[in-house]
Structures are given as structure tokens and as C-alpha cells.
Amino acid sequence: MSEVKFRGAHDLPPCSISVTHELTKTGNWRNAKPVFHKERCIQCGICWKVCPNACIKLGEYPEWDMDYCKGCAVCAEECPKDAIEMEDERVMI
Amino acid sequence: MSTVKVITGNHAASFGARDSRAEVIAAYPITPQTQIVELLSEFCADGTLKAKFIKVESEHSAMAACIGASAAGARAYTATSAHGLALMHEMLHWAANGRHPVVMANVNRAMGPPWSIWTDQNDSLAQRDTGWLQFYCESNQEVYDTTMIAFKVCEQVLLPGMLVLDAFILSHTYEPVEMPDQELIDEFLPPFDPPYKMDLKDPHAFGALTTPEWYMELRYLIQEAHEKALVKVREVEKEFGETFGRHYGPLELYRCDDAEEVILIAGSTASTTKDAVDIMRKEGRKIGLARIKLFRPFPNKEIRDIASRVNKMIVIDRNISFGNQGIFFNEIKASLYQTKHTPPVYGFVAGLGGRDMKIDDITGIVKQAETCNIEEILWWGVKL
């Protein structure tokens, strides 16, 4: 999906739509990232369906668009085979 | 060949939705609206209308279902009244902010407590700032006509629209309503084809979170769409008039050509006011009526035009913004501020909770406006 850059109101779509543009880019909000275990995945597509940002692309296996994934962990929570784990990304200073 | 049916205001709304070819109808019953969706459910059941009827557990869900349907590219319709509309409040914002052109009939009913099922305008006017277009109808014919006008305007500007009719005075009263040929209607109102719609092959979340960097711009676009809607309403009403022979306009003028005074009112009371104007005209009074059909977007230009030609304006509100004044009264005064010719504007609050508004009430109000203090809120008919 190509990303669109905006200069002003008139470049915007009338309603904010996820994963096409910087309007909804929330990747840098993340505290934890999904780690995928392919061997446990049964390709049921539940993660794709429940992602509130629609940032999971469903090919043979799911792929996350990390520019938009905000680490909400809904996919990990809903995966019936625990094939998605959340890994802490916080950097302690 | 057009057909004429003698039907209630509620059924005029149902037929309006049927002939506008609504595709999804989601609704919850509430007096005095129930008949609207009752008849629509029958149309859906017997196949007269090829639409999906979704039964829901509340008005909040009814609007949510309409929003979903609209986002998927369907023409969505619902109807409600008073407390049902109030329960929808959150979803009303969602429909407008998400730019879903849902059309809804709202039967004007007074808010409780005390429980009331009779008409006044506080329910719809309380939704003033949700971003919905609001059309106030005077007759059953206008309810029918405005349904397709609303769909056409709303779908062009991607905003939802509410057509408003008075409880019982219109909703349960039978009047002849002319329904044009479906072919002509289809020509006037082509199928809904939104620029963005939900698509399983290209999934997105609609109304996704937006940071302060762009939120304000999306709001600016809604205001811009409202300004465009005002132009569209004028255009579409003109086209409707040319096609079907009936024209209303955002502000309908009645005997205003040489008027020195003008009464401003919305809803079915305008019919009574027309009779009152005729009587006062016979007595030699140069008086007219300006009926507010469109409340959002507000027809500022039309209001200023009529104000520039008269010496006195009398606004009758079947509503009140507690702690201030009648709502139309305030809107009209705001519209005139900083214009060159501003006649005195008198605001009366009358007919709340279905208190009958008869010809004598209108002539009485006009008479009282001769002597009353313009600074005060003017109540008509309160037993003190």
C-alpha cells in the first residue's frame, strides 16, 4: 500500500481511514511488539479480523505493518494457538 | 402516472424511504415514530422494497447499524423521536464525523420528564451541533418529498440528514400525498456511490485514530461540506421543483413581497400561521411568513435578505434553550448581527409539549409584539 503525504485539509480523505497515510500512523506509540511463531499458526485469520487498525496483512501467514501497529496486543490475546507473543520494546534510561 | 394516497405523516416518511430505494433500515420503535418503520418492515417483508431490515435493541444500535451500512456503501435509513434521538446522540456525531450520509426521520416530540408524547422541537434542536443537516417539514407531502431531497443532498456532501415532522399534527394526521413515477424518482436520485467504502478485499478501519496534527483539518472539511450543502439544497430543491412541480426552499416566503412585518417559524405551525397571515392581511396588516425549512446548514443569506426588507421580525419557538432564549430566535439574531439593516426581533416561546397553536395564538402573539419589551423572553400562553 502506498503512503500518501498531506500538505493541507484538501488533500485529506473526508474520513480518517487506517493504514494508508500518516493520519493514522501510530507505530511509535508501541510499548510492545508482536512476535509471530509460524509453527503454531493454523492460518485461521482471527488476528487479521480483530486488529483495530487493520494493520495486519493476510497472505499465507499474517504480516504486521509496524508503521501502524501500536502494540495493543488484541491479536496476541485472541490467537487461539498462542502463535503471537508480545515482546517488551521499552528502552529503560 | 403519479399516484395520490391519503396517508399519515409517518407513512409519508415510509413511502419516501421506499421510493428513495433505501437499502438498509435499522430502527427501534418509539411513539410517535413507530408507524414509519412498521410500514417499512412490511415493505421489506413482502418484497416491495429490496432492503435489509435490521431489528436492534436500542436507538444507539439503530444508528450504529446505519453507519455500518452507509460505510459499506448502502443507502441507510432510520427513524426516531425524542428520547430515542437523545439515546442516539453519540452515534449522531459518529455519522457526521465519519461522513456517512444516513437519512433519518425524527418526529418532534417533547422531552420528559414529565412524560409527554406531544410535539415540540427541543429533541431535534438539542442535536444542533452534531453535524447533521436538519429539514423541518410543514406537511405530509413535504415529508415525502424531503426524504429524497435529503438523500440527494446528503450523498453529494457526505453528511447525514434529519427530516423533522411534528408529532401527531403531522405524524398521525391523514393528508393527500402525491407520489411521482418511480422512473422519475430514480432519475432524480441515482444509486448511492460513495468515494470510500468498506471493502473486504482492501480492509481498513474507518474513523481510525487521528492525532492533533490532522484532527482539526477533518473538522474544517465538515464545515466546508455544510457550506456546500447550503448551495446544494438550493440547487436540488430547484431541480426537484422543475421535475415534480413542488418547491420549498431553505426559507419559504409566504406573502412577504410587500410585508412590513414577518413571522418566522418552523414546522407544521407554519400552516396555521399562513391562515393567520391571511386573516391579518384582510384586516389591512402588511404581514408575511418566513418558514424556516432548513436549520442546519442555517440559511443566513435568506434570513438577512428578508430582514433587510421588513421593519419587524417575530420569531415563534416551540422550543427553549434553558437559561437563554428560544433557539431559532437566537440563531436568527446571530445571523443579523453586523448586517446593515437589523429590524427589531421579538422572540416568543410557545406551544411546548404539544400545547395547541391556533390561529388566535398567532394573531395574539403579533398583537403582543406591539407593546412588549423586546429585552425580555416572551412566553405565550403560560398560566402564571
Are B218 and A54 in contact (CB < 8 Å)? Answer: no
User: How far apart, in whole angstroms, are the C-alpha atoms of residue B336 and residue B264?
Assistant: 14
Are A17 and B98 in contact (CB < 8 Å)? Answer: no
Strands B3-8 and B52-55: unpaired
List the single residue in B208, B220, B225 with the smallest CB-CB distance to A17. Answer: B208
List the single residue in A15, A26, A48 with the smallest CB-CB distance to B209. Answer: A26
- Residue B297, pLDDT score: 98
Domain ranges of chain B: 3-244, 251-379
Convert the pLDDT of each residue in A59-92 to its tens digit: 899 999 999 899 999 999 999 999 999 999 988 8
Are A14 and B221 in contact (CB < 8 Å)? Answer: yes
SS3 content of chain B, % helix, strand, coil (to 5): 40, 20, 40
Cell numbers 484532527 correspond to B215
State how far Cα B371 lies from the chain centre. Answer: 33
Burial class (CB in 10 A: 0-12, 13-18, 19+), B357: buried
The answer on pLDDT for B290 being more than 80 is: yes
Q: Do residues B145 and B248 touch, judged by C-beta distance below 8 A?
A: yes
Convert the pLDDT of each residue in B326-383 to its tens digit: 999 999 999 999 898 899 999 999 999 999 999 999 999 999 999 988 877 799 999 9
* Chain A closest-CA separation from residue B207 CA (Å): 5
Burial class (CB in 10 A: 0-12, 13-18, 19+), B78: buried
DSSP state letters, B211-230? -HHHHHHHHHHHHHHHHHHH
Cell numbers 432510520 correspond to B78
DSSP state letters, A16-54? -BTTSBGGG--GGG-SEEEEE-GGG-----HHHHH-TT-
Q: Do residues A15 and B196 touch, judged by C-beta distance below 8 A?
A: yes
The verdict on pTM exceeding 0.95 is no
Query: Which residues have CB under 8 Å from B61's CB, separation 6+?
Result: B26, B28
- Let me know the angle formed at the C-alpha of B252 by B247 and B255, rounded to the nearest 5 degrees: 110
The answer on pLDDT for A1 being more than 50 is: no
Q: Specify the CATH number for B251-379; select among 3.10.20.90, 3.40.50.920, 3.30.565.10, 3.40.50.970.
A: 3.40.50.920
Helix (H, G, I), strand (E, B) or coil at B53: strand
User: How far apart, in whole angstroms, are the C-alpha atoms of residue B260 and residue B209?
Assistant: 53
List the single residue in A10, A13, A54 with the smallest CB-CB distance to B205. Answer: A54
Convert the pLDDT of each residue in B307-341 to its tens digit: 999 999 999 999 999 999 999 999 999 999 989 88
Please name which of A18, A46, A93, A45 lies closest in space to residue B199, comparing C-alpha atoms.
A18
SS3 content of chain A, % helix, strand, coil (to 5): 25, 20, 55
Burial class (CB in 10 A: 0-12, 13-18, 19+), B359: middle
* Chain A closest-CA separation from residue B100 CA (Å): 9
Chain A neighbors of B221, CB-CB under 8 A: 9-10, 12, 14
Q: Do residues B290 and B262 touch, judged by C-beta distance below 8 A?
A: yes
User: How far apart, in whole angstroms, are the C-alpha atoms of residue B91 and residue B98?
Assistant: 10
Are A15 and B98 in contact (CB < 8 Å)? Answer: yes
User: How far apart, in whole angstroms, are the C-alpha atoms of residue A62 and residue A36?
Assistant: 8
State how far Cα B349 lies from the chain centre. Answer: 19
Find which of A15, A46, A48, A67 to mutate to test the B interface (most B CBs within 10 Å of its CB): A15
Quick one: average pLDDT of B67-95? 98
- Let me know the angle formed at the C-alpha of B176 by B245 and B120, rounded to the nearest 5 degrees: 95
* Chain A closest-CA separation from residue B208 CA (Å): 5
User: How far apart, in whole angstroms, are the C-alpha atoms of residue B82 and residue A86?
Assistant: 47
Domain ranges of chain A: 27-88
DSSP state of A90: -
Chain B neighbors of A15, CB-CB under 8 A: 97-99, 196, 206-207, 218
B193: pLDDT confidence band, cut at 50, 70 and 90? very high
User: How far apart, in whole angstroms, are the C-alpha atoms of residue B155 and residue B192?
Assistant: 7
Please name which of B251, B249, B275, B277 lies closest in space to residue B263, comparing C-alpha atoms.
B277
Cell numbers 509471530 correspond to A36
Strands B345-349 and B312-317: parallel
Residues, chain B: 384
Closest-CA residue of B relative to A52 is B205
List the single residue in B99, B209, B210 with the smallest CB-CB distance to A14. Answer: B99
User: How far apart, in whole angstroms, are the C-alpha atoms of residue B154 and residue B150?
Assistant: 6
A73 touches chain B (CB under 8 A): no
- Residue A4, pLDDT score: 61
Please name which of B169, B95, B172 lies closest in space to residue B127, comparing C-alpha atoms.
B95
A93: pLDDT confidence band, cut at 50, 70 and 90? confident
A 8-27 near B (Cβ less than 8 A): 8-10, 12-20, 22-24, 26
State how far Cα B270 lies from the chain centre. Answer: 14
B165 beta partners: B107
As a whole-number percent, the residues of chain B with pLDDT over 70 amount to 100
The amino acid at B145: D
Q: Does domain B3-244 have CATH number 3.30.750.24?
A: no
The amino acid at B314: I
Quick one: average pLDDT of B151-157? 98
What is the second-level CATH architecture of the domain A27-88? Answer: 2-Layer Sandwich (3.30)
Please name which of B160, B86, B87 lies closest in space to residue B123, comparing C-alpha atoms.
B86
ipTM of this complex: 0.76
The answer on pLDDT for A3 being more than 70 is: no
Convert the pLDDT of each residue in B46-56 to its tens digit: 999 999 999 99
The amino acid at B365: I
Interface residues of chain B, partner chain A, Cβ below 8 Å: 97-99, 158, 195-196, 203-211, 214, 217-218, 220-221, 224-225
* Chain A closest-CA separation from residue B217 CA (Å): 5
Strands B261-265 and B251-254: unpaired
